[in-house]
Amino acid sequence: MNETRPVAIEGAPRRSLFGRLSGALAVGLSGVMTASMHAQAETTKADGPDWPGKLKGRHRQVVDAYDVNAGFPLAFAYTFLAPNAAPGAATAVVILRHGAFPIALNNAMWAKYKIGQSFKIDDPETKAPAVKNPFLNPKPGVLPKDEMAIDRLLAKGTIFGGCNVALTVQSKMLASNAGVTAEEAAKEWAANLVPGVTLIPSGTWGVNRAQEAGCTYCAGG
């Protein structure tokens, strides 16, 4: 009888101890997970906008457009999408940064700030310095492919991001062409993006976020 008492007496406290440990562990893990979720939410909030968001399609590619290059960054987006013509099969993201940023601006800004003349961008229709955005609503046959126009790509679901750093620097450079201050020029440019283009913190930031969202990389040039 004396030998059985330690077993009976020890068994209950051990089960009780393990129960308390399991409960404490669960509470601890719950606290850690909650704190982690809060930290992640705060990090995401401070990390910039949730752009480009969750991309649809099995195939996803970002075109890093850092020069106008006669509109070829737009052509690259088009030639990526064309072979993946099934609805929802592919999504293209185009980052307009550095020398390609003017593609993000409407015709009024091109005319007012003399963008074509200042940046030596010719209109393929006139063969002269562009006085309007030559890649926005062009006449049929002006571009190598009509479907590479920015308005047509946007209509088909291509996601465009415009670099805010390029906007700030370039609008300041050309402010005198319009007789306005650098601050006024920056505000006017931001208000006159091609509808559908999202102004993002920087072009390189956008390239990174697009790749994190599952895009392969294509140099626009």
Q: What is the pLDDT of residues 78-126, one digit of tens each?
A: 999 999 999 989 999 999 999 999 999 999 999 999 999 999 999 999 9
d(CA 31, CA 36): 8
Complete DSSP assignment for 113-159 = TTHHHHHT-B-TTTSSB-SS-TTSSPPTTSSSSGGGSHHHHHHTT-E
Question: How high is the pLDDT of residue 26?
Answer: 47
20 or 103: whose pLDDT is higher? 103
At residue 2, does pLDDT exceed 50?
no
pTM for this entry: 0.80
Over the stretch 22-59, which tens digit does the pLDDT of each residue have? Answer: 554 444 444 444 444 444 444 445 678 999 999 999 99
Question: How high is the pLDDT of residue 221?
Answer: 84
pLDDT > 70 in the chain, percent: 79
pLDDT > 90 in the chain, percent: 77
Q: What is the residue-averaged pLDDT of the chain?
A: 87
- What is the band of 11 on the pLDDT scale with cuts at 50, 70, 90? very low
Residue that the structure tokens 């185009």 belong to: 94
185 or 2: whose pLDDT is higher? 185
* DSSP label at residue 220: -
Helix axes 164-178, 182-191, angle to 10 degrees: 120
What SS3 class is residue 161?
Answer: strand
164 or 46: whose pLDDT is higher? 164
Question: How high is the pLDDT of residue 46?
Answer: 63
Starting from the edge strand earliest in sequence, which strands make up the sheet with 216-219, in order? 197-200, 159-163, 90-96, 59-65, 216-219
| CATH of range 59-219; options 3.40.50.970, 3.20.10.10, 1.20.1540.10, 3.40.1260.10 | 3.40.1260.10
